[in-house]
Homo-oligomer: A and B are copies of this chain.
Amino acid sequence: MQTLVDATRRKASALVAGLDPVPSRLPPELRDLSEVFATREFCRDILEAVEPYAAAVKLQAAFFERLGPAGMRLYADLVGAASALGLPVIADVKRGDIGPVAAAYAEAHLGVYGADCVTVNPYMGVDAVVPFLEEARRRNRGGGVFVLTATSNPSSGAFQEATDPPLYEVASKLVAELGRAGGDYPDTGAVVGATRPEVGRRVRELLPETLFLTPGYGAQGGDASGVHPLLDERGGGVLVNSSRSILYAYEDSETGYREAAREAARSARDELRRVGVRV
């Protein structure tokens, strides 16, 4: 995790810019290119545009997987391009499998493709998380793992709050149990959305020292105040991801997509500062 934390301090920014290249929303001037090439141009431009304001980037693996083997070459390319810009990469893969299977996924994303951190799904228990941690520890590059805990999507409540104790508490305990101290935060983080404040507050109680990766900010209707209950005692401990409101800022703007994305990233960083998110 230290790689991420160092980047937030260097940039004085808690913002993670998410690369979710939805084909139908690529800028019109790129639509004559092949899909892989258009996605490549778009993503490389976005990386450069957001670099001054984002601490890190999150690549959504699905959109590259959908482009077949050429999409995975592009994914590798973009991890490299982000790293060359000094942006740590979170591979948003949400893989959830066990033993040698989880080890293969871990080697793929933290090794072959070279991301710093990954997101992992805990449905199969600790067996699903440990191989990723082992891989990150073995590489010893300050990487880590974010475990899905309380996600931000509409139907997550119905599933994650259906039991006693609620699922997000079970996941929180798993995160607390597996994290190894070392830097400013343990190497096992949690994905905690900004859309259910009571849930977020409870997860923070259970995980006072954990780094959170927080999606659901910046989408239609969301605002930075949703991040408040997630902050740790110091007012930090949260990396806030914004994807579509940065990538597709050009849709509501007079400027080109590069400039619009840069402005959106700057304003997201500033808003996070304004509401008191510390790095």
Given A167-B163, A170-B159, is A62 in contact with B125 using a C-beta cutoff of 8 Å?
A: no
Complex CA gap A157/B127 in Å reads 11
What string of 1s and 0s marks CB contacts (under 8 Å) between A47-79 and chain B? 000000000000010110111111011001000
Complex CA gap A76/B67 in Å reads 12
A53 to chain B, nearest CB (A): 24
Given A112-B66, A163-B170, is A123 in contact with B98 using a C-beta cutoff of 8 Å?
A: no
Q: Is the CB of A65 within 8 A of B104?
A: yes
Q: Is the CB of A159 within 8 A of B125?
A: yes
What string of 1s and 0s marks CB contacts (under 8 Å) between A252-275 and chain B? 000000000000000000000000
Instruction: Return chain B residues, CB-CB under 8 Å to A113.
Output: 68
What residue of chain B has the Cβ atom nearest to residue A129's Cβ? B155
Q: Is the CB of A22 within 8 A of B100?
A: yes
A126 touches B (CB below 8 Å): yes
What residue of chain B has the Cβ atom nearest to residue A25's Cβ? B100
Contact among B22, B65, B73, B102 for A62, CB-based, below 8 A: B102
What string of 1s and 0s marks CB contacts (under 8 Å) between A104-124 and chain B? 110110001100000001111
Instruction: Return chain B residues, CB-CB under 8 Å to A127.
Output: 153-156
Instruction: Return chain B residues, CB-CB under 8 Å to A100.
Output: 20, 22
A84 touches B (CB below 8 Å): no
What residue of chain B has the Cβ atom nearest to residue A100's Cβ? B22
Q: Is the CB of A124 within 8 A of B60?
A: no
A160 touches B (CB below 8 Å): yes
What string of 1s and 0s marks CB contacts (under 8 Å) between A208-249 and chain B? 000000000000000000000000000000000000000000
Instruction: Return chain B residues, CB-CB under 8 Å to A121.
Output: 94, 96, 121, 123
A183 touches B (CB below 8 Å): no
Q: Is the CB of B148 within 8 A of A124?
A: yes
Contact among B99, B126, B156, B162 for A124, CB-based, below 8 A: B156
What residue of chain B has the Cβ atom nearest to residue A154's Cβ? B127
Sampled A-B contacts (26; CB under 8 Å): A20-B101, A60-B101, A63-B101, A66-B104, A66-B107, A68-B108, A69-B70, A69-B73, A69-B76, A94-B96, A94-B97, A96-B96, A99-B153, A123-B148, A123-B159, A123-B160, A123-B167, A124-B148, A125-B153, A125-B156, A125-B158, A125-B159, A125-B160, A127-B154, A159-B174, A163-B164
